[in-house]
């Protein structure tokens, strides 16, 4: 049975690297995958890029109002057509082995529902990678829905500056910690450079003055 997987972690926990490695593993075995990410993530344009310097184009972007299942069906049909054209003697049963989503926290709850339908009704595994919470420790709507629906949850781990396990994502603007602002801020869209730091609970509370909102 196909499953919906949510692989989550704080910033810098290697989510994009893990996704690209998983895609490589499928393709090394002659299987076909589709890669996608929400269009709101303008970092890297139409690519998924890891901090190790590896990058790859996505097959499609997901707009905030997009029907993810319909987008998937369109690109799944393209893969089947391309395979049939390359191998005319095949029975054209070659199919997409997996759909992989980067930055899944930016999906809407309805789009996460689409991912579940892709796994259950269309029989295709979905691997979604993302972070659970924003810089105020509040869950992203897409992540919350994935935590509710996913068949399998896997935490990708990283460490805080102090060496403890990092679970929060602190935001810095111009190198200074901030704890107010919009949930989504990507550095290319702002006048001051926005960066993030993965932190343990202790360090986060120290920097925030005890705030958890």
Give the span between the Cα atoms of 192 and 201, in whole angstroms.
26
Q: Which residue has the tokens 């895609």?
A: 23
Among left, alpha and beta (phi > 0; psi -120 to 50; other), residue 40 is alpha
**Given 28, 103, 148, 197, the catalytic residue:** 103
Active site annotation includes 103 = yes
Give the span between the Cα atoms of 100 and 19, in whole angstroms.
7
Cβ neighbour number for residue 95 with a 10 Å cutoff: 14
CB neighbour class for 128 (10 Å; exposed up to 12, middle 13-18, buried from 19) = buried
Give the span between the Cα atoms of 196 and 178, in whole angstroms.
10
CB 119 within 8 A of CB 125: yes
Give the span between the Cα atoms of 65 and 20, in whole angstroms.
26
Q: Which two tokens stand for residue 174?
A: 């111009």
CB neighbour class for 29 (10 Å; exposed up to 12, middle 13-18, buried from 19) = exposed
Catalogue the active-site residues: 103
């Amino acid at each position: 049975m196909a499953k919906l997987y949510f692989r989550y972690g704080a910033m810098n926990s290697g989510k994009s690297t893990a996704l690209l490695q998983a895609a490589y593993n499928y393709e090394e075995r002659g299987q076909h995958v589709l890669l996608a990410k929400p269009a709101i993530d303008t970092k890297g344009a139409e690519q998924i890029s890891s901090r190790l310097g590896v990058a790859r184009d996505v097959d499609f972007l997901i707009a905030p109002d997009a029907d993810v299942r319909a987008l998937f069906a369109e690109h799944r049909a393209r893969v089947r057509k391309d395979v049939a054209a390359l191998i005319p003697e095949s029975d054209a049963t070659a199919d997409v082995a997996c759909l992989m989503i980067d930055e899944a926290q930016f999906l809407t709850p309805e789009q996460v529902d689409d991912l579940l339908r892709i796994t259950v009704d269309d029989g295709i595994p979905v691997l979604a990678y993302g972070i659970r919470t924003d810089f105020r420790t509040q869950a992203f709507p897409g992540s919350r829905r994935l935590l509710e629906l996913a068949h399998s949850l896997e935490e990708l781990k990283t460490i805080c500056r102090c060496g403890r396990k990092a679970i929060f994502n602190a935001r810095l603007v111009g190198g200074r910690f901030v704890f107010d602002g919009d949930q989504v801020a990507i550095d290319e869209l702002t006048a001051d450079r926005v960066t993030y730091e993965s932190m343990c609970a202790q360090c986060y509370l120290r920097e925030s003055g005890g705030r958890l909102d």
